[in-house]
């Protein structure tokens, strides 16, 4: 055999290849100064707040960053753990587990977690990978549904880094996996496991997704459609009838109309109408965070019970669930095709 035509060993290809596992981000600590830094970066992103800068920045720095950091810090304090922010903890664990699962499948690639806002920053992680000699990077956002406010912002951050680099690795991006069979199966397995642990299921399964302004959808953002598709597929996988589940959107910010129905008002209405028990899952969040642990499992829980509901159970995010990491591994393998192929795996 002509040695020059032999494929490169899988190990050398893998050592040159990495995955950047991107999540939204988190403050460094549950304190007002830390929240001020985090919110300043987050809410300054034009992908997140699509208001002309000249109008928005005075509001952000003159009003919001003077009042909201202390309020948000108090909420973060209720979910903070000895290890730190749940979102950061789970994201780091997912990166370690994904590397292990891919290694077992013959893809011993590097996997680093990165945050769009906060630390470890996307630019810093990309710089570290380049310094380590990585030649190919798959950017895998932990956003199952695509939105310009999330996934596109990750692409922006990567582009900003390349804009200031003389040379950079070959790049690929995963846009979404909202209807990937393994992702849906992992969600369904988590719901079934929850029902087994509880010994019962609620009268209705509420699937709460993070909301975005309705205007974004009118301008072409596919997020709402993808959330509905995820919810429909999950309901089908669980064998639920239409009246047994409900799609809602949470985390509204500002006065603009966001995607409806809103989660908390819907839960209050259902309780007032006589619904006794409900299970709530947040399929768009692969890691537990402020929006799931505090907003859903504390604020929305209280609202439902105060409105007359009798039993509220929250189904945790996928976090370090084996079915989820397996799904993430399969998603990554699809996008690694051509970089590391079955013909070159060990």
pLDDT tens by residue, the chain, 346 residues: 343 334 444 444 557 999 999 999 999 999 999 999 999 999 999 999 999 999 999 999 999 999 999 999 999 999 999 999 999 999 999 999 999 999 999 999 999 999 999 999 999 999 999 999 999 999 999 999 999 999 999 999 999 999 999 999 999 999 999 999 999 999 999 999 999 999 999 999 999 999 999 999 999 999 999 999 999 999 999 999 999 999 999 999 888 999 999 999 999 999 999 999 999 999 999 999 999 999 999 999 999 999 999 999 999 999 999 999 999 999 999 999 999 865 444 4
297 and 314 in contact (C-beta within 8 Å)? Answer: yes
Phi, psi of 205 (to 5 degrees): -100, 120
pLDDT for 13 equals: 54
What does CATH list as the number for 11-177+322-336?
3.40.50.1400
CATH number 3.40.50.1400 given to 181-315: yes
Please name which of 117, 105, 188 lies closest in space to residue 154, comparing C-alpha atoms. 117
How many CB atoms are located within 10 Å of the residue 225 CB?
A: 13
Count of helix runs (H) and strand runs (E) in the chain: 13, 8
Q: Which residues belong to CATH 3.40.50.1400 in the chain?
A: 11-177+322-336, 181-315
C-beta of residue 250 within 8 angstroms of C-beta of residue 197: no
CA angle 97, 21, 25 (to 5 degrees): 110
Q: Are 143 and 150 in contact (CB under 8 A)?
A: yes
Q: Give the DSSP letter of residue 45.
A: -
Q: Quote the radius of gyration of the chain (alpha carbons, Å).
A: 21
């Amino acid at each position: 055999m002509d040695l020059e035509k032999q494929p490169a060993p899988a190990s050398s290809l893998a050592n040159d290849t990495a995955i950047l596992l991107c999540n939204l981000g988190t403050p460094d600590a549950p304190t007002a100064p830390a929240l001020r830094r985090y919110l300043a970066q987050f809410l300054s992103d034009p992908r997140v707040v699509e208001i002309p800068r000249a109008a928005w920045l005075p509001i952000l720095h003159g009003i919001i960053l003077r009042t909201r950091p202390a309020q948000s810090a108090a909420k973060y304090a209720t979910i903070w753990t000895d290890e730190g922010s749940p979102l950061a903890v789970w994201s780091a664990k997912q990166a370690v587990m994904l590397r292990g699962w891919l290694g077992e499948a013959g893809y011993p690639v590097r996997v680093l977690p990165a945050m769009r806002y906060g630390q470890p920053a996307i630019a810093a992680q990309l710089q570290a990978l380049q310094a380590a000699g990585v030649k190919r990077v798959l950017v895998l956002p932990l956003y199952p549904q695509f939105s310009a406010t999330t996934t596109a912002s990750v692409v922006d951050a990567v582009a900003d880094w390349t804009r200031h680099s003389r040379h950079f690795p070959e790049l690929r991006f995963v846009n979404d996996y909202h209807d990937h069979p393994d992702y849906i199966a992992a969600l369904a397995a988590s719901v079934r496991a929850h029902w087994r642990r509880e010994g019962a299921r609620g009268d209705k399964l509420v699937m709460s997704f993070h909301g975005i302004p309705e205007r974004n959808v009118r301008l072409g953002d596919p997020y709402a459609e993808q959330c509905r598709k995820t919810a429909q597929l999950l309901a089908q996988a669980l064998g639920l009838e239409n009246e047994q589940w409900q799609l809602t959107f949470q985390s509204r910010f500002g006065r603009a109309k966001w995607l409806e129905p809103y989660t908390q008002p819907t839960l209050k209405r259902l309780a007032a109408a006589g619904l006794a028990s409900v299970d709530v899952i947040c399929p768009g969040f692969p890691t537990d965070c402020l929006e799931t642990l505090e907003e859903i499992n504390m604020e929305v829980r209280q609202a439902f019970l105060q409105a007359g509901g009798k039993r509220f159970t929250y189904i945790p995010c996928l976090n370090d669930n084996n079915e989820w990491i397996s799904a993430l591994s399969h998603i990554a393998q699809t996008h690694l095709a051509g970089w590391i192929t079955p013909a070159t795996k060990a």
